[in-house]
Amino acid sequence: MVGQLMYDGVQAREFTVARNALGAGIARYSAELGAGARSEADRGPGPDRGAGAVAAKRVLGMARRGLGVLDRDAVSEVLGVGHRAWAEGTDAVAVGDLALGEEQVGEVFRRDIRPRLDGPAREWPTVVFIGGQTAAGKTTSQQVVLRDLGLTDVVPLDGDDLLDDHPGYRDAVRADDRTAASLVGEHTSAWWTMTVEQLRAGRVDVVISAPLGRAPWSLDRFRDFHAAGYRVEVVLLAVPPAQSLLSLLERWHRDRQPERHGFGRWVAPETHDRFTGGILETADAVDASSVVDACHVARRGRGVVYSNERVGQGRSTRDVIELERGRPWSPAERDDFDELVAHLADTDRRDARPLPVELRPLLATIVERGRM
């Protein structure tokens, strides 16, 4: 049942609640506009203008009170888009256009996703989870990590790659690349679950890239593979938060340039920071778990620096990660960091659009973190 599917700890039903709140608010706003509830005096600037916006706020408040604390974080971007749409007097966020029925969800999986999942069946298959906060370099580290672990012919799975399988995602991300991923989250969650079930059924070796910033969700996924007869290995990237947060901002800004995609992949800095701390909780859970066969700590793009194949013994994985995050940066790391900062801070560049003004305080915060 779609409402019970999970993707990195966020239940799909919460996205459904957010979507329904958006639809209700837009409908209420449209009705009030049609009835002339918005007078000329209502049309002042800002998000509070108009009776429709007030009604929308009431809908948002009711939706938020019906969700838990973590769930509020999960749907905040969705609700924010809806509020802006109401305030502008438009239903530019065509949430209904992004909704797919069960048959459509299944068809997309069979037609577009299932053909990518073939690999050699193993008698004793292995799954490798690569975790780290947003923009920690999970994708770029993958090949180095697999080499270090001696694995080949491994089928990769990254939930972000499933975004492009949604037929409406490209239009949504062009409209607002800071919220599009949340708007299609219900369906990418369903495809993620279908994908791991298919991979386990085929007994192929798998590498899964995910933040692993929520320990309960992570342990449940490890347990699922362990119960299916898989060897479970977990790799946690130990990346200084200032470096990954800078990478997040630079990647988003670079991809938004017209000569590239014209839109980026945005993750809220608060989410990045939450996952940064959550990785340590996952490390503690792994050390205490009996379903993980090996745990490794890796540097970004440089491979494994610590391994423990007797989980629960040896050094604390949390301690290793914190030590790696806090070590002095190499000259190359410092140069790369300073170069990216200079690139983003330059407002006079002719080869690219400058960083939006509202994000410059974030860049200043990143620079300050990089000095600590």
Residue numbers of the chain with a pLDDT score lower than 50: 1-17, 24-75, 78, 81-93
Domains by residue range for the chain, with CATH: 2-97 (no CATH), 124-154+205-325 (3.40.50.300)
CB 292 within 8 A of CB 286: yes
* CA–CA dist 284, 319 (Å, integer): 10
Spatial separation of the C-alpha atoms in residues 132 and 369, rounded to whole Å = 18
What does the angle CA 258 – CA 79 – CA 15 come to, to the nearest 5 degrees? 95
Residue 119, token pair as written in the block: 């690999």
Helices and strands per DSSP (H, E), number in the chain: 15, 8
What pLDDT score was predicted for residue 339?
95
What string of DSSP letters covers 84-132? HHHHTT---S-HHHH---HHHHHHHIIIIIGGGG---B-SS-EEEEEE-
CB distance 280 to 294 below 8 Å = no
- What H or E segment, with its residue span, contains residue 316? none
| Residue pLDDT, tens place only, 120-154 | 999 999 999 999 999 999 998 999 999 999 999 99
| Three-state DSSP state, 44 | coil
Regarding pTM above 0.85, the answer is: no
